[in-house]
Amino acid sequence: MKFYNKWPFHLGIIIFSIVADQLTKLWAVARFTNETGGPNHEYIDVIGSLVRFDLVFNKGAAFSSRPQDIAPFLPPWVFFLLISIVATVVLLWFYKSIDKRDWMSRLGVVMILGGAVGNFIDRMRLQMVVDFIDCDFPDFIMTRFPTFNVADSFVTVGVAVVILSPVILRKLHKQIKEEKEANKQSEVNSRQ
């Protein structure tokens, strides 16, 4: 088994994603807040106006949806805590259920987990998420893409990696599927 498919490497990816996320958010808050702690409404063009750094505090869930609209009986911090616990349990279960040879899917799940923890830290520490990466899209899609952060990037790339794994590792996935079917058939035969 290659080093990139072992748990110490995966733990390193999780730690790296959390540290990178938190350090960039600390920088964004220090760079783009005024003396009252609010955004100073300045921005830095990174690639013209296509990509820029612009501080936004997201007090809601994904794409600024509000937890009060989903579960009005729970304080937002409890809602996010419960959702994070459930998501972590599901991701860990999914990680353990992936065949060890499918290194791509396992890596994708690890990236999703690292990004989720990064945003969870913000929600528990600040009761909001620090977003600062602002991208433009052609106007026929939307004016600008919702502002995001490094943790969101890890989640998005991780999901893409999990989705692409069966395409890129087609032979391996076919082999794994055939082995599972053969195991099921042998179990059925042994019961008869």
Tell me which residues are annotated as active site: 131, 152
Determine the 3-state secondary structure of 40 from DSSP: coil
If we measure between CA atoms, which residue out of 74, 23, 76, 30 comes closest to residue 55? Answer: 30
**Angle at CA 65, nearest 5°, toward 154 and 128?**
65
CA–CA separation, 122 and 134 (whole Å): 19
Looking at residue 129, its amino acid is V
Cα torsion at 122, 124, 128, 132 (round to 10°)?
Answer: 0
Residue found under tokens 């998501």? 87
40 CB contacts (<8 Å, ≥6 apart)? 32, 33, 34, 55
